Amino acid sequence: MPAVSKKQQRFFGIVRAIQKGEMAPTTPETAKAAADMKKSDVKDFASTKHKKLPEKKIAKEETKYDRYDKQDKQNKKRDDRMKFGKFYAKAKEAKDRLRPGEVKKWDPEKKRYVSNKE
């Protein structure tokens, strides 16, 4: 797994140097990371090229509107499921199916197919 920022790559470069014995631990974080992580994982992070990496990765905060939209989408799915039960897909198909004697023709004014039974 490659590093996602230059800062992370530098950190793992220090951790790798500590693991190899080329350097003494500078901070408790580097010492803990050197002791806990596998050498192969640290090598993957440390060997990432700097080109096209941001200096620091900025985490996107979730706003209350994002949470509201997410919740609204979930509620809509639940409502549809409650309305038709486990046969939601079949009920959706039935709405589009032609009834006996029905013909749909293209209406250029409305720009959609119109049934002769409407």
Look at strands 112-115 and 104-107 and give their pairing.
Answer: antiparallel
Mind listing the pLDDT tens digit for each residue in 5-60? 899 999 999 999 999 999 999 899 999 999 999 999 999 988 888 888 888 887 77
Which amino acid, one-letter code, is at 14? I
Rg of the chain over CA atoms, in angstroms?
29
pTM beyond 0.85, yes or no = no
Domain ranges in the chain are 6-46
